[in-house]
Chain A
Amino acid sequence: MEKRYEEAMDNLARLATQIYEQLGGGEIPEMQVTTRSKSNIEFDQRAGVWKLGDSKTKRSAKKLSGARMILRSLYMMDFIKEMIEANKSSTLREMYYISEGWEKAKFNDQKESDRLAEDMEIITDCLREDFKLRPEEDGARVIGDITIEERTRKGDLRRINCRDDVGDSGYTIPYNVEEDKVNFTDIGVDFMIAIETGGMFDRLVENGFDETANALLVHLKGQPARSTRRFMKRLNEEEGLPLVVFTDGDPWSFRIFASISFGAINSAHLSEHLATPTAEYVGVTASDILNYDLPTDKLKKTDRTALEQELEDPRFNTRFWRDEIETMLEINKKAEQQALAKYGLDYVTDVYLPEKLGEIGVL
């Protein structure tokens, strides 16, 4: 058995033992989980990312909900133990369906079981991949001149150049991008540009932006999967590639950037592993809406609420973000990336991106 799985097993067993011993000693069973909320994230100066703070949430069998969570945790542990022993893996969704048979320990929806899997990571200090659990979605697509060595299902190593060896849809990032699976052998680009929407990704591909700007194009597919973030983090850290993020201009897109750069609240325990603190935001900003006179939509009530929450969010507490968020609230407008097509299909690659990237100093 690989060492990472052995460690995971040990850590899980320790948790079960703790509960067993509490019961045996006549104590009401309880477990502590680090609280995952906006109020419990702290900026780590050294790593440059936002991580979980020290505040803990107690789950005690004194309450029905706490008792249920403890029971679910035990069932999940047992399930993971069986998978590791049988050398199998499952998706989070499969685990959710299996939990249907856990009687009083079953979940009401998959969100609950996904969250508990994340809790397990925090408690045991392991990754859910160590538990043989993987997410449903595959990673996103990349196009650009880098060469990757990937270990295939059969165990062979295969070299892939992400510009020349792939079709128009690019190279798909696998769910495991750790060193045992993926390594970088040759880097021919100067920087990475992460793009929120498929439409814009395809526009940059069609316009040949990867070659003209010497860039690696990464499609985020909305809020990026862990493997996408980890992939970009490794390229940034190991190969020194700068990362810029290009999204729609609305509160939800700001959050996409936050999770890439600062670390997401739900996975703040993994920020060091996933976040790229040097990532830069290209746009679309509220100022872009004004400066480029972009076609817009009015903010909805939920948009405004989201922006107001962001003003309260410590991760956005910088001059740049405060200005942009307040401006957006003031003009009461949002815009899509593809609104740039107002000036023609080439405008984004000929004018907008060169201007914006020049400002940042990437181009």
Chain B
Amino acid sequence: MGCNVDSIAEKLAEKQKEISIGEFFERNKHILGFDTLTKSLVTAVKEGVDNSLDACEEADILPDITVKIDEIAYQEYRVVIEDNGPGIVKRKIPDVFGKLLYGSRFHDIRQSRGQQGIGVSAVVMYGQLSTGRPTIVRSKIAEKEYAIEMEITMDTKRNEAEIVSEEVVLWEGKEHGTKFETTIKGLLRSGEHSVFEYLKNTAIVNPHARITFHCDGDTTVFKRATDQLPPPTVAVKPHIEGIELGTFVKMAKESDRRKLGSFLVNEFSRISYRTAREIASKADVDDDTNPSSLTLDECKRILKATSKVKIMAPETDCLSPIRSMLIKKGLKNVLKGYRPEFYSPPTTREPRVYSGNPFQVEVGLVYGGDLPSEGSVRVLRIANRVPLLYKKGGCATTTAIKNIDWRIYGLDQRGGSGMPSGPAIIMIHVASTRVPFTSEAKEAIADIPEVVDEIERGLRECARHLRTHLNREKRRKKISRKFRIVREILPMIAEKSADIVDRDVPPLETVMTKIMGVVYVEKSFDWENGVCRGILDINNYTPKEKELVIYIEKPYPETELLKSSIEPAFDGEYLKWDIESLSSSKGESIEFEFDGGLEKEDVGGLEVYVEGVKETSLIGAETLPDDWGVELAEIEKE
């Protein structure tokens, strides 16, 4: 019997052999995002475009990318992606396109789209597997007069590229750039998981890129919203906070440094010798210890000690957030067709760290207009400027959204949990030197507590802006309804009832005041001979007499007040008037003149503040902000 067992083991041993990385991915192509026909097409475009964007940015070139898709046979598509990047030198082309895990950025700690060097070579592999056709790569670098064109296939067993053919060609009108053409099995769909959606979202978060999409005879151009390239990112060392024990042990073992102190200072970011000594002493480890001889327990103590020592947050120049203004520009550029009523000021959070990796969260929110009000809000999930289209359910962004009770911010949400619904688009960008994806296909961000927490904070910031907007809107609507009552309906009621009972039309001021119940401020400006004249009309539509203080910002601190119909109580960086008594249903008008060749834009956004009325009974102006008093006291002292 025992003899039998032995022989089985022997037989098994014969079969046990190493499989190459190429073969592994060949059999597990779903890991790389090639599991369904629709998705395969999106993945192919995505990998190509990501590569092109990274290449352009590294070379300081404003990206101009063309994507072309044609169905050449049933469920067989030719995908062509062309960029104006720096091009690839001839000897590197086979490796870049024909070898998995070959890349320039794998060992760098900095934010980039591609990281593992799998992306574009996986497309070549999938094309070859699904249609048997090679990929054609053409590339030209600025230094050469000609371009190189190669046909490439992949030997998955050896994880090597095979060059089918190679020739030198003239690429007219092209200074530099790369084009690759691959044929894959796929299915072209429209909707949430489409190539179009991916490119549209890419355009939103890469407002510096121009993307042209030819498909089925249609051409769509996503124009640039800015000529500003994102600042180049710098490679950094890992941050010690939250780094995993295993990683730390490995780094210690492999380190060339001979002392713990210098190991900490040189292989981690933001650690000075002073901090290193402090960590060592808190961990009760001699800072002269050779890192490679550290025991597991000592390593544990060191990591524990880092939380007790104040270490500066990681450098942020390894990250490339889009930044508030460009997020807004990008969203506006692509979504303007929906005429949204509100763009929440986008939020860029301070960088934080998970497991030693710096990351940064940005959130944008767009609301209303022609956005569909039925169904869940739409979410644009972005990781390192790359849109994520799949595995929404298992993504940290979704977890964070579901953690929030959106009802308090004005969106519908059944039971206060789950996805909110309403006419809104939420954009979430997670930038990191290492985005914690759930799989190699980079489809979803893992639920790392620090990451979820940051996203949640970002979302709440935007959501608060939305709430403020909606409240203001609600108040405006309510008042505009009241205006219609007093301006349109009430006079008609008075006239008709007077007509029926055959008497004079009664005066309506008192009733109007009772219906409105607000102080109404109207601000207008006009120009005469280069002088800007402002008028503030203040109407007391409340039943009570009011004592009011009116403030208006000046366009510029040096702007001078030429005259004012009522003597201002203060004239400095802003103007202030006291209206000691304004009876019910009475109005007051303040006329004033500014000098300094002001334009419409200078005065259009000037805020008017009013003291002496509750926020809820004030229209056309704001109540004085809480921090105003502080500022006021300081200025008046001077």
Residues of A in contact with B (beta carbons under 8 Å apart): 12-13, 16-17, 19-20, 23-24, 26-29, 61-64, 67-68, 70-71, 74-75, 77-78, 81, 103-105
Residues from chain A with Cβ under 8 Å of B503 in the complex: 20
- Among residues of A, the one whose C-beta sits closest to the C-beta of B513 is A26
Contacts of A71 in B (CB 8 A): 489, 492-493, 496
Check A64–B485 contact: CB distance below 8 A. yes
Is the CB–CB distance between A105 and B492 below 8 Å? yes
6 residue pairs, one from A and one from B, having the closest CB atoms: A26-B510, A16-B500, A24-B506, A20-B497, A74-B496, A67-B489
Q: Which secondary structure characterizes the binding site on chain B?
A: helix
Tell me the bound Cα distance from A212 to B585 in angstroms: 78
Given A13-B500, A74-B500, A78-B499, residue A64 in contact with residue B489 (CB < 8 A): yes
Provide the residues of chain A in CB contact with B265, threshold 8 Å.
none
Known contacts being A17-B501, A20-B501, is A104 close to B511, with CB within 8 Å?
A: no
- Asked if A104 and B499 make an inter-chain contact with CB atoms under 8 angstroms apart, the answer reads no
Query: Which chain B residue lies CB-closest to A105?
Result: B492
Say if the beta carbon of B250 comes within 8 Å of chain A.
Answer: no
The residue in B496, B506, B508 that gathers the most chain A C-beta atoms within 10 A of its C-beta is B496
B497–A67 contact, CB under 8 A?
A: no
Is B481 part of the contact surface with A, judged by Cβ < 8 Å?
yes
Residues of B within 8 A of A78 (CB): 496, 499-500
Tell me, rounded to whole Å, the shortest Cβ–Cβ distance linking A249 to chain B: 38
CA distance A197 to B515 in the complex (A): 52
Bound-complex Cα distance A16 to B511 (A): 17
Q: Distance (Å) between the CB of A75 and the closest chain B CB? A: 6
Say which residue of B488, B497, B508 sits within 8 Å of A19 (CB atoms).
B497
Say whether A23 contacts B489, CB under 8 Å.
no
Query: Is B490 engaged at the interface, CB distance under 8 Å to the other chain?
Result: yes
Known: A23-B494, A23-B511, A70-B493. 7 other contacts (CB 8 A): A16-B497, A16-B501, A20-B500, A27-B511, A28-B515, A78-B496, A78-B499
Q: How many residues of B contact A (CB 8 A)?
A: 24
Q: Does B484 contact A (CB under 8 A)?
A: yes
B489 and A68 contacting across the interface, CB-CB below 8 Å: yes
| In the complex, residue of chain B having the shortest beta-carbon distance to the beta carbon of A24 | B506
| Chain A proximity of B409: nearest CB distance (Å) | 27
For residue A62, which residues in chain B have a CB less than 8 angstroms away from its CB? Answer: 485, 514-515
- Chain A, Cβ-Cβ closest to B494: A23
Flag whether B142 is at the interface (Cβ < 8 A).
no
Pair A61/B492 contact, Cβ less than 8 Å: no
Residue of A nearest to B504 (CB): A24
Q: Who on chain B is nearest to A12 by CB?
A: B500
Question: Could you tell me if B496 and A61 are in contact, using CB atoms closer than 8 angstroms?
Answer: no
In the complex, how many residue pairs between chain A and chain B have their CB atoms under 8 Å apart?
A: 76
Instruction: Give chain B residues whose Cβ lies under 8 Å from the Cβ of A20.
Output: 494, 497-498, 500-501, 503, 506
Query: Measured between alpha carbons, how far is A95 from B419 in the docked complex, in Å?
Result: 49
Contacts of B508 in A (CB 8 A): 23
Q: Which residue of chain A lies nearest to B516 when distances are taken between CB atoms in the complex?
A: A62
CA distance A74 to B485 in the complex (A): 15
Do residues B496 and A64 form an inter-chain contact, with CB atoms below 8 A? no
Of A63, A68, A74, most B-chain CB atoms within 10 Å: A74
Residue from B482, B501, B511 within 8 A of A13 (CB atoms): B501
A61-B506 contact in complex given A26-B511, A28-B514, A78-B496, C-beta closer than 8 Å: no
B490: A residues at CB distance < 8 A: 61, 67
**Residues of chain B with a CB closer than 8 A to A81's CB:** 500
Give Cα distance in the complex from A103 to B508, angstroms.
20
Complex CA gap A75/B493 in Å reads 9
**B515 contacts across to A, CB distance below 8 A:** 28, 61-62
CB-defined A-B contacts under 8 Å, sample of 12:
A12-B500, A17-B501, A20-B501, A20-B506, A29-B511, A61-B493, A67-B493, A71-B489, A74-B496, A78-B496, A104-B488, A104-B489
Considering only residues 490-549 of chain B, those with a C-beta below 8 Å from chain A are 490, 492-494, 496-501, 503, 506-508, 510-511, 514-515
Contacts of B507 in A (CB 8 A): 24
Compute how far the CA of A62 lies from the CA of B482 in the bound complex, rounded to whole angstroms. Answer: 8
Nearest B-chain residue to A75, judged by Cβ: B496
Q: CA A103 – CA B500 in complex, angstroms?
A: 18
B510: A residues at CB distance < 8 A: 26
Which B residues lie within 8 Å of A104 (CB)? 488-489, 492
Determine the distance from Cα of A68 to Cα of B506 in the docked complex, in whole angstroms: 19
Residue of A13, A64, A70, A103 touching B481 (CB-CB under 8 A): A64
What's the Cα separation between A67 and B501 when bound, in Å? 19
Give B497's nearest chain A residue, CB to CB: A20
* A67 partner residues in chain B, CB cutoff 8 A: 485, 489-490, 493
Smallest CB gap from B510: residue in A:
A26
> Which residues of chain B are near A68, meaning CB under 8 Å?
489
For B492, what are the chain A residues with a Cβ–Cβ distance below 8 Å? 71, 103-105
**Which residues of chain A have C-beta atoms less than 8 A from B499's C-beta?**
78
CB–CB A61/B500 < 8 A: no
| CB proximity to A under 8 Å, residues B451-507 | 481-482, 484-485, 488-490, 492-494, 496-501, 503, 506-507
Instruction: Tell me the complex Cα distance, A70–B515, Å.
Output: 15
Q: How far is the CA of A70 from the CA of B508 in the complex (A)?
A: 16
- CB proximity to A under 8 Å, residues B354-399: none
Closest to B489 in A: A67
Give the Cβ gap from A61 to chain B, nearest Cβ, in Å. Answer: 6
Shortest distance between the CB of B411 and any CB in chain A (Å): 26
Q: Which of B484, B485, B488, B493 contacts A23 (CB 8 A)?
A: B493
Cα(A23)–Cα(B481), bound, Å: 19
In the assembled complex, which residues on chain A have CB atoms less than 8 Å from the CB atom of B514? 26-28, 62
Chain A residue contacts of B498, Cβ below 8 A: 20
Q: What is the distance, in angstroms, from A17's C-beta to the closest C-beta of chain B?
A: 5
Q: Within the complex, what minimum Cβ distance (angstroms) separates B205 from chain A?
A: 43
- Chain B residues within an 8 Å CB radius of A77: 500
Query: Given A13-B501, A20-B506, A23-B506, does the pair A29, B493 have CB atoms closer than 8 Å?
Result: yes
Look across to chain A and name the residue whose beta carbon is closest to the beta carbon of B517. A62
A19 proximity list for chain B (CB < 8 A): 493, 497
Q: How far is the CA of A105 from the CA of B494 in the complex (A)?
A: 13
Q: Which residues of A contact B484 (CB under 8 A)?
A: 64
For the complex, what is the distance from the CA of A12 to the CA of B510, rounded to whole Å?
26
Q: Report the bound CA distance from A68 to B489 in whole Å.
A: 7
State in angstroms the CA–CA spacing of A67 and B508 once bound together: 14
A74 touches B501 (CB 8 A): no
Contact A28–B511 (Cβ < 8 Å) = yes
Chain B residues, Cβ within 8 Å of A16: 497, 500-501
| Alpha-carbon distance between A284 and B28 when the two chains are bound, in angstroms | 68
Interchain CA distance A63-B478 in the complex, whole Å = 9
User: Chain B nearest CB: distance from A112 CB in Å?
Assistant: 16
CA separation between A103 and B495, bound complex, in Å? 14
CA distance A17 to B482 in the complex (A): 24
> Within the complex, what minimum Cβ distance (angstroms) separates A76 from chain B?
10
A141 to B537, CA, bound (A): 68
A25 to chain B, nearest CB (A): 9
- A23: nearest chain-B partner, CB-CB: B506
